[in-house]
Amino acid sequence: MTAVETHKTACILCYVNCGLEVEVQGRQITKVRGDRDNPRSRGYLCQKAGRIPFYTNNTAHRLTTPLRRTPAGDFEPIDWDTAIGEIAEKLNAIRAEHGGYAFGFYGGGGQGNTLGGPYGLALSKAMGSSIFYNALSQEKTGDYWVNGEMFGAQNCHTAEDVDHTDLLVVIGSNPWMANGFTRAREAVAEIRKDPARKLLVIDPRRTEVAEHADLHLCLRPGTDAFLLGAILAIIVRRGGEDRAFIAAHTEGFDAVRDALLDIPVDDWIRVADVPRADVEAAVDMILTAPSMTVRVDVGLQQARNSTLNSYLEKLLFLLTGNFAKRGANGLHAWLAPLMGHSRPDDVAPVTGQLKIAGLLPPNTLPAQILTNHPERLRAFFVDSANPANSVTNTALVEQAFRALDLMVVIDVAMTETARQADYVLPAANQFEKWENSLFTYEYPRNYFHVRAPLFPPLEGTLVEAEIYARIVRAMGDMPDDRTLAELRTLAANDRPAFAQAFRALTRGEPKYAAIAAVILYETLGATLPDGAAAAAPWWLPAHRFAADYGEGVRGAGIQGEGFDLGENLFAAILSERSSVAFSDLGYEGSWSLMKHPDRRVRLAVPAMLDWLRRLDPADAEPDPDYPLMLIGGQRRNYNANQIIRDPRWRKTDPHGALHLHPGDLAATGGGAGDWMAVETRVGRVVVKVEVDENLRPGQASLPHGYGQIYDTPSGRVTVGPRLNVITDCDDCDPIAKTPYHKNVAIRVSRATPSEVEAMERQAALVGEVA
């Protein structure tokens, strides 16, 4: 019998990436527990992580050979050399004839699959492209735009000091189910047990975290901007702003105060449909708390008025002085920023859509393809993502994919997106390769976790670094072998000389700067211990961060000066299996991360103040044809992202049921357990229905992470609703084009007999494996 081994790794089901300690036997994970040595998560584990073996141990659905679409429309297996050669030839032809805007990239790393990102971006840069989409641009770019206006760059990002706060304000977020910060349930429980600390929740649903709250403002769906505006207006009318903080650290308060004083508070509270007394009590909690931190998530950022919501959320902690101090919000450090910063004139060539943080919103993707514009997208790479399920308006997305000249998908399984591709390249999974965390949102002490593989890559698969390196080499874009060999020798024997030679090469030749990650993989990577070549691109950020924030690196316990500090930081992140602290700038360090030259926050953002003045209560009224407001993508006990495809991993909710308030379900004439049709102006899905008394009347919910096509012993099945069949590309934020997925107007009716029969057959197939 194969011996049982214990290894350190991390969870892949959300971006917190809690540390895991797993027992491994052969190629199987047999036990999962929290890693008590991990300084971030400290042994914490939510209920979902224990089901990770359903991802790693079932290899029946894995891809193990490259696939090419045939003229008949199906796929045929081909060898790696053929796949790489044909893809490289097609990319070169498209680049030569149409230029960089013809190439687009989607992905670059998921929540637990991020180390391929630098290599995919290297290919994009080699193609001369800046057309880039990912999950963040589906959810967060309105927030990033506001950060750019207030803090000076769109990659200035705020975090929460939950562990030390006196008042935790949770808006449009449910950390009990979705985490979002480390040790989420333990942190909430600690606040509840301490009579000196408070929890305020603002959410239309009585969520699991709201059950723990001292006060829950159960607002009407889609009215966040009205309620937050009213709260801020009451604060300034009471004179509750922190005048000393505002004078010392901000600009533009007078314009903000004038706009807030113009708000008709009573009218806006009526729109939000919460008692005025509760709103006043919330303001009391905010103004009397020695410290407050505000936690938000996509419940606010994909709701109506989403970019304005992000602005008002930041005003809440800034006007009250709860910034850059213990227990408050602050800017956090990055080893390397997760996103970039875009100029105001940087727009997509076809749609004219503003790029934010270097990203384009995925719900504008079809318009970038389905056009005769000379700079339309013609070639598209999708890496570790499933936009056919996750992007607004599934039918339109799939139509766009079919119109491409070339589509390549890199993934571990035949996803719904892969089924649209011309080539599908099989990747190693997250536990078969070197990987790392990327969402280093802790504040003020930041951690980075590079983790070693638990298993070798499944036979026939490659790690993303190798896939992209082969493509770039086949395109003829790499330096010659002699240059690479010289760099490899220097990396092994004289790291300062390697640094000098590498920088001379990439600064002297822009085409080599574009593929710097691939060159590092081929040179420095070959010299790293334990086969950690794919982690080589982190060498550059380690040195840059050490040069810019040496005090923070030393504050985290890593010693050295100059070049040695960067080398020691890089060595530490490679060697520590339970995560390593790379920075501790202290609370005041937030000011050093500000990008405005004077390090002062810009409170007055004219576009946001104009939007605030234009808010119209009539816009919050329900559509009589689609009277229910759907939470599209609710977090529940056993749903996560699109990674786990095996339906057996779910202990509950096998069909991804629609939840309705009892009164709303009764009005349809249906009952719990029935199959019902959910309709919008663009689509219709049939779902199982369950009752949820924690929803407001008029509110419904469907979970995300469903809609996977899965082969059972008796036939192929789609597991749960493909939610984006019913979402509309045009129902989105006016600035960021973030879809309003948390406020989708729907109607619900009885399914037809034929629909019920079809869904019962599907349910029986799911039941065979689940």
Is residue 179 helix, strand or coil? coil
pLDDT range class, residue 690, cuts 50, 70, 90: very high
End-to-end CA separation in angstroms for the chain: 29
Is residue 538 helix, strand or coil? helix
pLDDT range class, residue 752, cuts 50, 70, 90: very high
pLDDT range class, residue 646, cuts 50, 70, 90: confident
Domains, in order of start, for the chain: 4-56 (2.20.25.90), 158-331+600-612 (3.40.228.10), 622-769 (2.40.40.20)
Higher pLDDT, 536 or 2: 536
Report phi then psi at 63, rounded to 5.
-85, 135
CA–CA separation, 240 and 95 (whole Å): 58
Q: Pick the range with the lowest mean pLDDT from 84-88, 108-112, 425-429.
A: 108-112
pLDDT tens readout for residues 210-267: 999 999 999 999 999 999 999 999 999 999 999 999 999 999 999 999 999 999 999 9
407 in Cβ contact with 421 (< 8 Å): yes
Q: Would you state the structure tokens that stand for residue 610, as one six-digit string?
A: 């104009």
Mean pLDDT of 528-542: 98
Predicted local confidence at residue 110, as pLDDT? 64
175 in Cβ contact with 184 (< 8 Å): yes
pLDDT range class, residue 45, cuts 50, 70, 90: very high
Mean pLDDT of 700-715: 92
415 in Cβ contact with 402 (< 8 Å): no
pLDDT tens readout for residues 12-27: 998 899 999 999 999 9
CA–CA separation, 51 and 13 (whole Å): 10
Max Cα–Cα distance, the chain, nearest Å: 76
Query: 114-124 b/e with 16+ CB inside 10 Å = b?
Result: bbbbbbbbbbb
Q: CB within 8 A of 760, min separation 6: which ones?
A: 675
Is residue 601 helix, strand or coil? strand
Predicted local confidence at residue 2, as pLDDT? 87
Predicted local confidence at residue 112, as pLDDT? 67
User: H-helix or E-strand containing 247?
Assistant: helix 243-249
Q: How many CB atoms lie within 10 A of CB 33?
A: 14
CA–CA separation, 292 and 168 (whole Å): 6
Is residue 5 helix, strand or coil? strand
Mean pLDDT of 572-581: 96
Predicted local confidence at residue 111, as pLDDT? 61
302 in Cβ contact with 741 (< 8 Å): yes
633 in Cβ contact with 704 (< 8 Å): yes
CA–CA separation, 749 and 747 (whole Å): 7
Mean pLDDT of 692-713: 94
pLDDT tens readout for residues 717-735: 999 999 999 999 999 999 9
Is residue 118 helix, strand or coil? helix
pLDDT tens readout for residues 445-486: 999 999 999 999 999 999 999 999 999 999 999 999 999 999
Does the pLDDT of residue 770 top 80, yes or no?
no
Does the pLDDT of residue 157 top 80, yes or no?
yes
Report phi then psi at 513, rounded to 5.
-60, -35
Predicted local confidence at residue 438, as pLDDT? 86
Percent of the chain residues topping a pLDDT of 90: 93
Does the pLDDT of residue 547 top 70, yes or no?
yes
Rounded to the nearest 10 degrees, what angle do helices 265-272 and 276-288 cross at? Answer: 110
Q: Would you state the structure tokens that stand for residue 104, as one six-digit string?
A: 């687009």
Does the pLDDT of residue 769 top 90, yes or no?
no
My answer on whether omega of the bond before 444 falls inside 30° of 0, hence cis, is yes
Predicted local confidence at residue 61, as pLDDT? 86
Predicted local confidence at residue 766, as pLDDT? 87
CA–CA separation, 256 and 261 (whole Å): 9
User: H-helix or E-strand containing 541?
Assistant: helix 539-548
Tell me the pLDDT of the chain averaged across its residues.
Answer: 96
Give CA separation, 232 vs 259, 323, 388, in Å: 10, 16, 40
Task: Tell which residue, 682, 581, 700, has the closest CA to residue 629.
Answer: 700
Predicted local confidence at residue 68, as pLDDT? 98
pLDDT tens readout for residues 652-686: 999 999 999 999 999 999 999 999 999 999 999 99
